[in-house]
Structure 1
Amino acid sequence: MTGAPALQFDAASLILLNIIMACMMFGVSLSLRLEDFRRIALAPIAPLAGMVAQFVLLPAATCLFTWALNIDPELALGMILVSACPGGSFSNVMTWLARGNVAVSISMTAVSSLAATVLTPLNFALYGWLNPHTRNYLTQISLEPASMLTLVLLILALPMVLGMVTGRRLPGFVARSEKPLRIISLLVFLSFVAIAFSKNFGLFIERFHSFFWLVVCHNLLALLLGYGMARLCRLPHSDRRAVTLEVGIQNSGLGLVILFTFFPDAGGMLLITAFWGVWHLVSGLTLSQFWARRPLPADDPAVQQPIATEQYT
């Protein structure tokens, strides 16, 4: 154990965070259709490239990174937890801003969220155990994979199914509510992160130097892995942008839910996970604006067959 101070976080706040996460997943899923999954079956290269980077390369690279640098076990486990999470919902909007392939982004978000019900608990337990610096700490915090699996199912899979059913049966509701729901979800989530930081302000200031650059470098690693995998697979530029942002924008909200449910005394893990929730929005929006000012090549499929983006406008 590292002896980090315990978090100040009550049961009511945990329930609120679970509700926020479920609502965000519900909002994202309103625009999902079965056709999004069929699209993957017909053209799987881009989503598969992103999934490999998301659930194989990023957790493995994070484990090696934290092992090689002998990072504090709590901070290292926070990084491993984030790397085990699926892509974040805001990657879809950022992909649209970046002139990327929105269809690929939405498809990846849907599939990675479903895959995360199994792969998030599995990857966290596996890579936390493989790193010898975190192995002992992981055994002390009493990890319960079955309970974690149930939690992820409840806040990801169930809201996704409800959102898809609602979107199919109530298209008028979707048209009116999707954009406000995204904005409200973002504001509420950021407010929640701010409250979490304010309640643990002393811990935040005390250890700022130890986690700030870890999060910045870790996020850069995720973006580079996404872009590198997409380029290695020779994907069109619009698909590269979608895959890059999908891998670089992690669902850190899910990480917070897992953290506060199972590891309430792990202050170092909170610092990494909560700051990820802020930083990846900064880096993602910055990269989106960079790409937005660089038109796609004329032969890119997204230029020849423009992607529908009414839901974001």
Structure 2
Amino acid sequence: MLHPLLSVLATDVDNITIDFDEGSLTFLKIVIALILFGVALDTKLEDFAAAIRRPIPIAIGVVAQFVLLPALTFLLTIALDVRGSVALGMILVACCPPGNVSNILTHRAGGDVALSVSMTAVSNVLAIFMLPINLAFWGGLSPAGDDLLHEVDMSVWETFGEIALVIGLPFVAGITITRLWPRVGHRAHRIVGPVSFVLLALIIVLGFIGNFDIFRDYITIVLLAVCLQNALALALGYAIARVTRLPVRQQKAMTFEVGVRNTGLGLLLVFTYFDGLGGMALVAAWWGLYDIITGLLVAEVWRRRTAAPADVVVPA
């Protein structure tokens, strides 16, 4: 049973908003575009050809990310009986694609980096269509989040356009540069990737500082939900890889592809369509920091316990 104070705060979390001005929103869009640009710089057209040549693990990853994870997250929101904005935040995170952090963690763990890169590329392209559809579908089914979703002036097509702009254009630009000028693309990736994630972390930290009172009072409401959802995502990736008998190195790639989400994109949608709705912003912001910490821990444990060297990359 919740402490009386937490019960009151949990009720109020649907009514709070995170302060985020227009200039900060524009900067967030630029940072998210940089993140996707960095992913594309590490992606070649051959990666999509490799995905076609290895359809089974790619199909497994797509099902896990776009079907099973949102469905299990929806069930988790019901089991935890979270407030509407928290439920929508958890569903939104589950609908987001992975970023290239999953590639870095796969490399660190000694996993199949080629598969990881191919899955990230395919997932980000599919997310342009699947994210708004999944959010509308599972959010509409949520008993807690349905009313809030209907209060928001957001259509699937408008969300599709926003995501296509943020993901599609940087992705096409990055792949084009890598295709035409591979050396430039390789060097740029080594700069754009780390810088974009540092900038995203800076945005989140500054958001915490600028809204310190809100985070101090309400962060405990989303801590358990985020921890359980993150564990669920990592466990789902690992379990589905084991059940389908993928090789160990592919199991590592699958774990991080399903377990790591690009929550910066989720934050962008929260501030664009939901006016910084409290529970959603708290979930996405905390996820953005927490999943990197847990991902690094899992990768380090895996690297130490398995014989596969972290710097070996199997060609796609």
Class of the TM-score when normalised by the shorter of the 2 chains:
over 0.9
**Please, which runs of 5 or more residues in structure 2 have no aligned partner?**
1-10
Look up the match of 1:202: 213
Equivalent of 1:116, from 100, 115, 127? 127
Shift of 1:177: 2.2
Look up the match of 2:150: 139
Alignment of 1:35-114 (within 5 A): 35-114=46-125
Alignment of 1:127-276 (within 5 A): 127-276=138-287
Shift of 1:107: 0.7
Residue 314 of structure 2 corresponds to residue 290 of structure 1: no
Q: Structure 2: how far apart are the matches of 1:177 and 1:132?
A: 45
**Please, which runs of 5 or more residues in structure 1 have no aligned partner?**
none
Q: Report if aligned partners of 1:73, 1:133 keep a CA contact under 8 Å in 2.
A: yes
Mark the CA change 1:172 to 1:100 in structure 2 (over 3 Å): closer, same or farther. same
Offset from partner CA, 1:142-198 (integer Å, 9 cap, x none): 222211101110111211111000011112212322212221112111101111111
Query: Greater shift after overlay, 91-100 or 287-296?
Result: 287-296
Q: Structure 2: how far apart are the matches of 1:199 and 1:97?
A: 34
Look up the match of 1:17: 28
Q: Secondary structure at the match of 2:305?
A: coil
Shift of 1:293: 1.0
Instruction: State how many pairs are aligned.
Output: 305
Q: Structure 2: how far apart are the matches of 1:217 and 1:70?
A: 13
Q: Structure 2: how far apart are the matches of 1:85 and 1:176?
A: 27
Offset from partner CA, 1:194-246 (integer Å, 9 cap, x none): 11111111111111211111111100000011111111110000000001001
Q: Structure 2: how far apart are the matches of 1:290 and 1:139?
A: 44
Q: Report if aligned partners of 1:64, 1:131 keep a CA contact under 8 Å in 2.
A: no
Query: Greater shift after overlay, 268-277 or 133-142?
Result: 133-142
Q: Structure 1: how far apart are the matches of 2:193 and 2:71?
A: 32
Offset from partner CA, 1:119-139 (integer Å, 9 cap, x none): 100111100111122111211
Aligned CA RMSD, in angstroms, stands at 1.9
Q: TM-score, normalised by structure 2?
A: 0.92
Shift of 1:17: 0.5
Shift of 1:297: 6.9
Q: TM-score, normalised by structure 1?
A: 0.93
Q: Structure 1: how far apart are the matches of 2:313 and 2:143?
A: 49
Q: Which amino acid aligns with 2:314?
A: I
Offset from partner CA, 1:241-285 (integer Å, 9 cap, x none): 001001111010110111110011411110000110000100111
